[in-house]
Structure formats: structure tokens, C-alpha cells
Amino acid sequence: MISFGAGALAVTALGYRAWDRGVFAGTRGPAFTQWDDWRGNGLDGYRRPLRAAVLAASPHNTQPWLFAVGASTIDVYADRVRHLGMFDPFRREMHLGLGCAIENLVRAARALGMKTDAHLTDGRLEPPATAQPILAARLTIGAHQPSHDPLLEMIPRRHTNRGPYRDEPIAEEPLRRIVDLVSGLTTRLVLVTDTGARRELGATIVEATKRIIADPEMSMDTFRWIRPGRREVLSHRDGVTIDTSGTNPLMTGLERCCPISTRQ
């Protein structure tokens, strides 16, 4: 029979483990202050819109960007060390993340009274010869009348949620506006609405996921960006946390307390 003292010790040890792994911390602490200070202040100068830029979406939250602020320019570099390896051999996902950062930067700059003229660097999506940072875009900055942008307020609210979607129909008008917003001469958005096509697409996604998991090198290249506990979050301040796994709070807490080793 377990004594009261042993039981109390076990509860204390479990409580410490839960605290140490950040079970009760959620999305609070030093690693998340950027979401509170994303507006900055006038003393930041041309660096101010970068506070919004770094909150952009990126693959596995790799944050593959570097910024160089000049007298009238902001250079955006692809940090090619921060990539997903075999999961993203041609760096396509990396460049999508860079595009999101540039969009956030431009929107924030306009709202702050800065005119931006973006010049994108030409290039091809191919395995890079070196891991050195490479220029992705140069933004020329000038004065401009501040403009209101309702999407700007959404930047700190954007977050990853891997939980199931609600399978509810969306009105045709909002969908049409989304299609019109992103479609152009070189871009076209296609919405899969047919039941049979959706079923086929879902099966294809599941099969692709199975192949990713079955590939040891590809799986490890993505797994090294998982931050299961408080220490990893504070140390790296990037990657994917357990909170975005889509599981219920109980399972999330158990996953934090019983992390999988990241060693090969």
C-alpha cells in the first residue's frame, strides 16, 4: 500500500513535471511577447513594420527570413539554413513563407505612412548550391499618407490550428470574392466543391502524408522543428508547438509531459 507521503511526493513530482514542460503556460511567456509588441513605436523608424513581418506564416514556423534596413530600403533575404530539408528540396515552401513576410511588411508600412515599392529577385526553385542567405526582394521605402487596412489587424490573430474543420457550406458570394481577389494573369484559384472530387483529393492527401511519414529522412527533417515543451520553445522560439496539434487540452498536456525523443 502506497503511503500518504509517497503519494504526495508523486503528485509533487508530477506537478513539477507539468510546470517544467509548460503544460499550464500555453502561449504566454518571453517567446510570445512579439504578439503583444507587434505595433512598435515611432522610435523604431523603418524597422517598425518588421514587427508585423516576423509574425507571418512560414512552413513549420521556420521563419526563413533575414532583413537588412538601409537609409531608404529594406532588403529581404532567404535564410537558407532554416529550411525543411528533404520535405522542401526546391525551397518552394520557404519562398511561400518569404512572400507572407513581405505582404505583412507592406501592409504594416502602408498603415504607418510608408510607401513601399517591392522589387522581387528573379530566380528558379531548385536545390541551392550553398546555404548562404540570398536576396529575395528589395523594398524601397518613402513617405506616404497612412491608410487604414482591416487585414492589418488580423496579423497578430493568425495562428495554426490542426484540428478538424467544420464541414459547413460557405455562401457563394464570399467564395467568389476570394477567387477574384487572388486571380490574375498568372494565378488562378480553384475551389474543390464537388463531393466526389473532394473525396478523391482527401484520399490523395492522406496517401501523401503516409509516404512522408514512411520516409525516415523526410520525417526527421520535419520532426526537428517540433518544440514539445517549455524549454524547447524558450530556447528556439520557432518551430511547431504541441498546442497546434489539434488535440483536446488533456491530450495536449499528456503530450507535453511525455515528449518523444528528438534524437535519431
Give pLDDT, residue 136. 94
**Cα 125 to Cα 89: distance, rounded to the nearest angstrom:** 9
Residue 215 CA, distance from chain mean position: 23
Average pLDDT taken over every residue of the chain:
83
Give pLDDT, residue 70. 93
**Cα 173 to Cα 179: distance, rounded to the nearest angstrom:** 10
Residue 261 reports pLDDT greater than 60:
no
* CATH code reported for the domain at 37-158: 3.40.109.10
Of the pLDDT bands very low, low, confident and very high (cuts 50, 70, 90), residue 264 is very low
Is 235:262 a contact under the CB 8 Å cutoff? no
Of the pLDDT bands very low, low, confident and very high (cuts 50, 70, 90), residue 219 is confident
pLDDT in tens, 93-147: 999 999 999 999 999 999 999 999 999 998 887 777 788 999 999 999 998 888 8
Each domain of the chain, given as residue ranges in start order, spans 37-158
Give pLDDT, residue 138. 96
Residue 213 reports pLDDT greater than 70:
yes
Find all residues with CB under 8 Å of 249, minimum gap 6, and list them.
none
**Cα 158 to Cα 188: distance, rounded to the nearest angstrom:** 24
Is 111:104 a contact under the CB 8 Å cutoff? no
More confidently predicted of 10 and 42: 42
Burial (CB count within 10 angstroms: exposed 0-12, middle 13-18, buried 19+), residue 223: middle
Q: What strands, in cross-sheet order, belong to the sheet with 114-120?
A: 65-69, 73-78, 134-143, 114-120
Single pTM value for the model: 0.80
Is 152:107 a contact under the CB 8 Å cutoff? yes
**Cα 46 to Cα 84: distance, rounded to the nearest angstrom:** 30
Mode of pairing for the β-strands spanning 114-120 and 73-78: unpaired
Mean pLDDT of 176-205: 88
